[in-house]
Amino acid sequence: MTRLFNDPDDFAEESAAGFAAASARWVRPVTGGVVRSTRGAEPTVSVVIGGGSGHYPAFAGLVGPGLAHGAAMGNLFASPSAHQVHSVAVAANEGRGVLLSYGNYAGDVLHFTQAQERMREAGIDCRTVLVTDDISSAPKAEIEKRRGIAGDLVVFKIAGAAAEAGLDLDDVERLALLANARTRTLGVAFGGCTLPGADEPLFTVPEGRMAVGLGIHGEPGIDEVDVPTAAGLAELFVSSLLAEIPDGVDADGARVVPILNGLGSVKYEELYVVYAEIDRLLAEAGIVVVSPEVGEFCTSFDMAGVSLTLLWLDDEIEPLWHAPCDTPAFRRGAVEGRIAVDDVEVVEEEVVIGPASDASRNAATTIDRAMTAIAAMLDAQADELGRIDRIAGDGDHGIGMQRGSKAAAAAASSSAAAGAGARTTLQQAGDAWADKGGGTSGAIWGEMLVALGATLGDDAEVDAARIAAGVTAMKDAVMSFGKAKVGDKTMIDAIVPFADRLAELVAAGTELVPAWSDAADTADRAAKATADLTAKLGRARSHGDKSLGTPDPGAVSFALIAHTVLDILEGNE
């Protein structure tokens, strides 16, 4: 378990500050993460990576000459917000375009895509390469749905070396895609990881058993077997990965880089015992082992687990893999001719409180009270939401909702106290939720609150019809943003019937409070009914029927929020 921390809510921020202070030779802090503290003689394409904290050396430990130019650092196991990614990308940009690369997780995709769109709107060429190396997370026929784990290192290294060589963005992108296509990983775990301040791990494995196909955020494995010997584990790794040889690769005589990765608490000596057998098995298969790596490259706090990655080299990738790089956690050869970058002050965007009508200011006061109540409720429900999420997911839904709502409540209080109207108050609350909550839920709730605010405005009368229209806008925003539909076992299964029922009743002349009460009950029933569904999206998707019998945590938290808002509305009568 994680023992050394102050306030668990501040762990990621304090860890990032300590890392930056200890690693000034390579990085300097900026809003949202870190960027290089040196530059070369000539500008290059900038490679910006990132993801949730808790995986060191991924992601910040891989920033430096020859590898990444910057890393966006989210909260624990939560994707960085679009604001954080954009801030890092702008600071890292050297004028030749930006390549974003990260593991294929829903929250990361949502936030990084938003940041990419902002970069493009500003006239900066920005591309994305997703890492999809985990063979356990989707069948080969759906390889684009696979998640990224320790193969992150491979893709980041090839992209960084290509950029360092002076190649243009087209070639950097092409080579990163090629590296991803030629990389495969399988992971196992003997025990789950425990986040700072948590009383129990995100998942457990029975004594003497091993989870196969785990995820690096604490997602449980897709299978469970007896703990093998080191030789038995090596056999499982090698046989599974050789059954997944990339298209167009002839295994006989192929040159392969094996990367044996410890996930947090497996000792290096244990890794070497496993690697000895991996090396023998690969040789027996007629494969030429090149520059093997054994150590920690993408961890999961204190998880007792191991993964094996195979990178199948070709004439383009091999020299890039061996090219020099110098980062806090991964170094090769010598990098010369670096120039220190002067500290650049990052100016935070100023919050502008525009004019608002008295009616809208009154609505903002109610929003403030509602956000405060939501934060208190989610704080009390965080453990239970986490328990539900652990059944087939990574167990962090409660923590993410807790952090996001707390930040949103503070932002709403500050805006309302400054005389803001409903739109501005919700805009600030939504941005804060996305920024601090991270992950898929952070992105989605940020979008929902912003959409509601845009409908309510800062100068309009906030009546039942406008509120119902705003809730419909929330529904439309989340369906467009997350691409989920009813039946996928997500929050959509609760918000769609809620929004539709509220709109129906208000249109029929029902007053707001009874209409909201009826709609909240509808959402509650719909959330409970998700227990009968099999997850089709998100991290629970790869665990199939494991989620049967358990409701979706996102749908449950939405229903809880709907009832919490009802209490505030009833108090206003």
Q: Which residues are catalytic?
A: 217
CB count in 10 Å sphere of residue 282 = 22
Closest to 92 (Cα-Cα) out of 155, 163, 153: 163
CA distances for 441 relative to 49, 399, 410, 446, angstroms? 21, 11, 18, 8
CA distances for 27 relative to 45, 173, 345, 349, angstroms? 17, 24, 15, 23
* HSE toward the beta carbon, residue 149, CA cutoff 13 A: 32
Rounded to whole angstroms, the Cα distance separating 381 from 226 reads 35
| DSSP codes of every residue in 491-506 | THHHHHHHHHHHHHHH
Give the tokens for residue 411. 């932002």
Rounded to whole angstroms, the Cα distance separating 472 from 287 reads 57
Rounded to whole angstroms, the Cα distance separating 172 from 68 reads 12
Give the tokens for residue 226. 């007896």
Let me know: does 410 contact 418? Beta carbons within 8 Å. Answer: no
Rounded to whole angstroms, the Cα distance separating 218 from 204 reads 9
Instruction: Please enumerate in sequence order all residues whose Cβ is within 8 A of that of 17, keeping only pairs 6 or more positions apart, or say none.
Output: 29
Q: How many residues does the chain have?
A: 573
Let me know: does 66 contact 160? Beta carbons within 8 Å. Answer: yes
